[in-house]
């Protein structure tokens, strides 16, 4: 796959009636369903805002429950592992039996986890709350990604960017709101964020009705047939390509885990900044991630997925190598291009993988979101243990080399 429209237009070349959730010619004639995409983006933002509260209040929980870094990493692992293990299974099931209102039910589970987090009296309760939120994400993401593609009007990269940027915005807002609400008022104030979950349930109920209507009018076709985009590739080459994409996801999310879970501790330990100020600096990084996600999809639609994947993983390497040696201003400044460049990869990677297996949208979405969550959770747990042994500053020195894995992008095949 190269620059230009060679791969950006791959899926529109699929022959025959559209598979449910694949986009299809009808959608291309009518254009993107912007109201649906915005509803998905908003609900994704609310969902991920709830999720981001957990790492945002780690300093508070560490103090209240006398936790070490390894225990903090295990809380993240409970959330990420629940989400990652279940997402492919949910996606595989909904490829065969779409569940329009599973979107809202996933948010209900996140609401339950949020409520438990607000009143958790023990470490075990914190872990259980994290697992509940993870379960809600496992149900939400595969089907929401399918609906985004269905509503794309053939502009798959744009649709995934709009959907994903909502999640990035929610992730960025979580630490900011935690700094102004939870840190001053304590763990119990987490309950106020139940309003966000209730709003998400309402929005996703409306989206579910639209989705149910589309299912009722969309022809049901075989979903195991490869599309023209990857029809020239052997099964072994498709499997190898998926493995390369997962390796790139590993690089991206393992490095991102160092920021999401430990950037605040790094700033506090190395530069002595207050907790609230460290949350603001984390917001700067997460805001740049949101912008990178928004840009990555449309750029991939215009110039091709492979150049975006190649540039976003490997292109961030000079900045990650420089960050551990910078002063406070330089660290915050470097976090902006790191977040911007690295985040642009995910929409391109996901659409590229969907083009490989257009009849398995739910499975692909669940596999990649699940693997991303899993790598984030595994990264948080392992990096927490590493921080306990070698120090939080050394963690960022080691992680700086992860983008080298981006060299594997050169092995990705060209898609027609």
- Dihedral over alpha carbons 350, 353, 354, 357 (to 10 degrees): -160
Please say whether the dihedral angle defined by the alpha carbons of residues 48, 50, 52 and 55, taken in this order, is positive or negative.
Answer: negative
Instruction: Look at residues 128, 58, 49, 50 and name the one whose alpha carbon lies nearest to residue 392.
Output: 58
> What pLDDT does 227 receive?
44
Instruction: Look at residues 302, 188, 298, 313 and name the one whose alpha carbon lies nearest to residue 250.
Output: 313
pLDDT along the chain (416 residues), means of 10: 37 36 44 85 90 80 84 81 80 83 90 89 91 88 87 84 83 78 82 91 93 75 42 82 90 84 90 88 85 82 82 88 95 94 86 83 82 75 87 92 88 79
Q: How many CA atoms lie within 13 A of 300 on its CB side?
A: 37
Contact between 253 and 382 (Cβ < 8 Å) = no
> What pLDDT does 295 receive?
84
CA angle (165 as vertex; 173, 72 as ends), nearest 5 = 50
How many residues does the structure list for the chain? 416
The dihedrals phi and psi of 58, each to the nearest 5 degrees, come to -55, -45
Instruction: Look at residues 46, 77, 291, 273 and name the one whose alpha carbon lies nearest to residue 179.
Output: 273
The Cα 296–Cα 384 span in angstroms is 30
Residues with Cβ < 8 Å from 391, sequence gap 6 or more?
269
Kindly report whether the global pTM for this prediction surpasses the value 0.85.
no
Instruction: Write out the H or E segment, with its range, that includes residue 361.
Output: helix 361-390
> What pLDDT does 4 receive?
38
Domains and CATH numbers, the chain: 22-411 (1.20.1250.20)
> What pLDDT does 2 receive?
38
Residues with Cβ < 8 Å from 372, sequence gap 6 or more?
84, 249, 252, 253, 346
Contact between 171 and 289 (Cβ < 8 Å) = yes
> What pLDDT does 223 receive?
36
The Cα 35–Cα 208 span in angstroms is 13
Contact between 49 and 60 (Cβ < 8 Å) = no
């Amino acid at each position: 796959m190269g620059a230009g429209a060679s791969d950006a237009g791959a899926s529109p070349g699929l022959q025959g009636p559209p598979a449910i959730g694949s986009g299809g010619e009808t959608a291309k004639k009518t254009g993107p369903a912007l109201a649906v995409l915005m509803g998905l983006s908003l609900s994704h933002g609310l969902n991920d805002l709830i999720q981001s509260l957990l790492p945002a209040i780690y300093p508070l929980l560490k103090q209240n429950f006398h936790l070490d870094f390894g225990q903090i990493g295990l809380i993240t692992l409970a959330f990420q592992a629940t989400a990652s293990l279940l997402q492919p299974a949910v996606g595989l099931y909904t490829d065969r039996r779409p569940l329009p209102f599973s979107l809202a039910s996933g948010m209900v589970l996140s609401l339950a986890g949020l409520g438990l987090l607000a009143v958790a009296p023990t470490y075990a309760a914190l872990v259980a709350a994290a697992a509940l939120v993870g379960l809600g994400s496992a149900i939400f993401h595969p089907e929401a990604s399918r609906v985004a593609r269905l509503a794309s009007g053939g502009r798959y990269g744009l649709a995934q960017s709009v959907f994903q940027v909502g999640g990035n915005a929610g992730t960025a807002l979580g630490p900011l709101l935690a700094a102004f609400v939870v840190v001053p008022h304590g763990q119990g104030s987490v309950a106020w964020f139940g309003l966000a979950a209730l709003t998400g349930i309402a929005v996703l109920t409306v989206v579910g009705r639209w989705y149910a209507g589309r299912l009722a009018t969309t022809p049901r076709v075989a979903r195991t047939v490869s599309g023209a985009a990857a029809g020239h590739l052997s099964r072994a080459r498709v499997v190898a390509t998926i493995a390369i994409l997962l390796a790139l996801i590993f690089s991206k999310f393992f490095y991102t885990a160092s920021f999401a879970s430990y950037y605040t501790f790094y700033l506090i330990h190395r530069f002595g900044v207050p907790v609230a100020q460290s949350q603001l600096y984390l917001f700067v990084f997460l805001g740049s991630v949101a912008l990178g996600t928004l840009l990555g999809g449309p750029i991939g639609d215009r110039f091709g997925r492979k150049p975006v994947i190649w540039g976003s993983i490997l292109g961030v390497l000079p900045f990650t190598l420089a960050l551990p040696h910078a002063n406070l201003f330089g660290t915050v400044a470097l976090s902006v291009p790191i977040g911007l460049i690295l985040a642009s990869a995910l929409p391109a990677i996901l659409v590229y993988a969907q083009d490989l297996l257009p009849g398995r949208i739910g499975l692909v979405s669940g596999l990649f979101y699940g693997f991303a969550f899993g790598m984030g959770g595994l990264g948080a747990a392992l990096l927490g243990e590493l921080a306990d042994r070698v120090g939080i500053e050394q963690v960022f020195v080691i992680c700086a080399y992860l983008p080298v894995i981006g060299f594997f992008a050169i092995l990705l095949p060209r898609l027609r």
